[in-house]
Amino acid sequence: MNPFVFSGASNLTNEQILTLFIHDHNYSRFIQSKRNFFFWGERGAGKTMTLLYNKLVMQNDVKDSISNNSPIKYIPVYVSCITPLVFKREYLLLGSEFQASVVSEHYLALSMALALIDALIEIPEILKLIDQAELRLELNYLLDSELPDADNVLKSIKLFLRRQFIQTQQKINSPESDSFYQDTYTFSSLLMPLMDIFRSMKMMHDLHFIFMMDDAHDLNSSQRGALNSWIAYRDNSSFSFKVSAAKVSDYSLATTSGGAILHGHDYISINMEQDFQNFDSAYGKMAKKIISKRLELAGFPKDFDSSCFFPVSESLDKDITKCKEKARILAIEKYGNNDSKKINDFVYKYGRAIYFRERSSKANRVQYSGLETIIHLSSGVIRSLLEPCYVMYDDMISETGSLNKIDKIKPSIQADVIKRLSDRFWERLRHGVDKELPDCSVKQAEQVSYLFHALADLFRNRLLDPDCSEPRAIAFTISAKTDEIMSELQPILNLARSAQLLYVRSGTAKDGGAKEDYYVPNRMLWPARGLDPVGQHARVSIQASKLVGAMHTGKIEYTPQCVSMSPSGNTIQADMFNG
């Protein structure tokens, strides 16, 4: 099996989750609390894996509590919001919005109840604490129905809930346009009494249900409103919500009553995407651990250095080392021999830039390779880290014809895969992202494409300009924003984000130290354009109007920069984009 398999976490077994998860980045402190949390992150950022891992850990804690005869604190309830049920739209045929929202909430409440019962069934030891006859009696009364027979009462409830799903859909799918299911459930009529019943049992009086609502951005607007209303419920003693969602621009925090949930008050936000600049960043360390863990599963020793599995091309390594040395000599000429910090900064900024700058235009493509490069190419998204590794491993198997012979991925294969995957991004832009994104017009797709071509040219011009003070910057901030300009620019940026061509990060602004959003194009774009995906700790400030211009022309004017040396040796650079 390819150790870098990167299918969704929900397709992994419990054992695989426990084995593959990197424990140092578990968010357990937040998930195992009684507060409501939102975990924001793009697809592939590890949201599902984090929730599922914590679910398993908490389930084991429950088992321990039962065996130690101590009270159970938490029951984790994992609710996947991406089921085909959320795509059902018959409610649109109903005359009233109220009926539509009632049916939507009914589906969600049933899904959560089923997930709650599944969570209990997954801990068979819990049956020891339950008086099944009494519970059956109470549930028959609550649900106004005789529970079907099954091995145990939990399975009976499960059968009842599944039957509810089927009956609701049969009724709603009946051919009459306005068919409506009357016997609907809500959070208050189903979930809360259900939780109360379990909390009345021995060892469960202080029980807290943790509802892990995964991919909540897929809920429809009525369901999202309902969920927000439950989050706004102030008493968190018996339940809380840990919501994972992609931070899409239209994620509404409105409740059904017309209010909105407030950060800090009703919930706490956790951003699961972290930017990174180097191997030693938190993300860089985690990425290395992920690769090592996967290699361990493939039979490599535990302490195996994953960098050895993805060696850098010898010629690339040699050439970059030479260029760094060149930069060091230049730095010493400028700053003298004693200021090692300035010299190191200069080498960091210009060493790799010199390599890219001095390459002959007739030279072959850069042999992009090495674990550090792969990590940078992932743009901080785990799935994007595993994908190239998966393809490289697959290609290596094709070349060697045997699994046993793979002790490393040849740099030439790494470079070829990186080239293919990078080309694919530009191919997507050439074909138009309207082909893959809903609600994107041909014109908007063209504007997205123009924008990225302009950014590529801008970053390349900067990289090749010996006077540019931040030549390897491949992130940007937007300045001189006005409502009018942003109303044109923002939809294009949003589409680029949906296509995972662009990521938004939050960082400290230069002026005043306040937080500001900055934009990082997917780094996998750059190898096809001969750029350095490793980047540097810097952002280019671009006026919003220039970006709008780029959307229409595919160009951002670049004026070579004037970098002069101050008497202290600091570089002074005119910020052309801020005028």
Contact footprint for other proteins (CB under 8 A): 6-8, 10-11, 79-80, 82-85, 87-90, 92-93, 110-111, 114-115, 118, 162, 165-166, 169-170, 173-175, 177, 387, 390-391, 420, 424, 431-432, 434-442, 445
CB 550 → other proteins: shortest distance, Å? Answer: 22
- Rounded Cα distance between 243 and 135, Å, is 30
Residue 364 CB, nearest approach to other proteins (Å): 23
Distance from C-alpha of 57 to C-alpha of 72, rounded to nearest angstrom: 14
Residue 10 beta carbon to other proteins: minimum distance, rounded to whole angstroms: 8
372 versus 434: smaller Cβ distance to other proteins: 434
Neighbour count for residue 178 (Cβ, 10 Å): 10
Between 61 and 423, name the residue whose CB sits nearer to other proteins: 423
* C-beta of 111 vs 228, nearer to other proteins: 111
**What phi and psi values does residue 257 have, to the nearest 5 degrees?**
-85, 5
- In our burial notation (b when 16+ CB lie closer than 10 A, e otherwise), range 298-315 reads eebeeeeebeebbbbbee
CA angle 161/165/167 to nearest 5° reads 110
- Alpha carbons 516 and 508: distance in angstroms, whole number: 6
How many angstroms separate the CA atoms of 31 and 335, rounded?
51
User: What residues have CB less than 8 Å from 331, skipping those under 6 apart?
Assistant: 342, 343, 346, 347, 350
The residue whose two tokens read 């995906």 is 533
End-to-end CA distance of the chain: 55
Shortest spacing between CB 125 and other proteins, in angstroms: 21
Shortest separation between residue 428's beta carbon and other proteins, angstroms: 9
- Cβ of residue 445: shortest distance to other proteins, in angstroms? 7
β-strand 268-271 against 476-479: which pairing, if any? unpaired
Nearer CB in complex with other proteins: 108/542: 108
What is the Cβ-side half-sphere exposure of residue 357, based on CA atoms within 13 angstroms?
A: 21
Report the residue number, 162 or 285, with the smaller CB distance to other proteins.
Answer: 162
State phi, psi for 237 to the nearest 5 degrees: -70, -35
Phi and psi angles of residue 169, each rounded to the nearest 5 degrees, phi first: -70, -35
**Least spacing, CB of residue 561 vs other proteins, in Å:** 39
Region of 541 on the Ramachandran plot (φ > 0 left; ψ -120 to 50 alpha; else beta): beta
Interatomic CA distance for residues 458 and 256, integer angstroms: 46
Q: Are 467 and 562 in contact (CB under 8 A)?
A: yes
Task: Convert 390-409 into a string of H (helix), E (strand) and C (coil).
Answer: HHHHHHHHHHHCCCCCCCCC
Structure-token pair, residue 490: 């923002």
Closest distance of CB 210 from other proteins, Å: 18
Q: How far is the CB of 180 from other proteins (least distance, A)?
A: 13
Q: How far is the CB of 392 from other proteins (least distance, A)?
A: 12
Give least dist CB 176 to other proteins, A.
Answer: 8
Cα(181)–Cα(106) distance, integer angstroms? 10
For other proteins, give the closer residue by CB, 82 or 268.
82
Nearest to 528 by CA among 428, 430, 421: 421
Cβ closest to other proteins, residue 88 vs residue 365 = 88
Q: Shortest distance, CB of residue 270 to other proteins, whole angstroms?
A: 23
* Contact predicate 516/477, CB 8 Å: yes
- Residue 537 near residue 573 (C-beta atoms within 8 A): no
Closer of 53 and 390 to other proteins (Cβ) = 390
Q: Are the C-beta atoms of 536 and 348 separated by less than 8 Å?
A: yes
Residue number with CB closer to other proteins (438 or 567): 438
Question: Closest distance between other proteins and the C-beta of residue 171, in Å?
Answer: 11
> CB 57: neighbour CB atoms within 10 A?
17
**Phi, psi dihedrals of residue 300, rounded to the nearest 5°:** -80, 150
Complete DSSP assignment for 243-282 = EEE---TT---B-TTS-B--BTTTBEEEE------STTSH
Q: How far is the CB of 506 from other proteins (least distance, A)?
A: 26
* Residue nearer to other proteins on the CB measure, 78 or 356: 78
Q: Which is nearer to other proteins, 10 or 277 (CB)?
A: 10
Residue (175 or 264) nearer to other proteins, CB: 175
Max CA separation in the chain (angstroms) = 88
How far is Cα 491 from Cα 438, in angstroms, rounded to an integer? 13
Task: Report residue 205 as tokens.
Answer: 């009086």
Nearer to other proteins, 87 or 512 (CB): 87
Q: How many residues does the chain have?
A: 579
Q: How far is the CB of 151 from other proteins (least distance, A)?
A: 17
Closer by beta carbon to other proteins, 5 or else 576: 5
Report how far residue 186's alpha carbon sits from residue 138's, in angstroms, rounded to the nearest whole number: 18
Strands 74-80 and 208-214: parallel
Nearer to other proteins, 11 or 404 (CB): 11
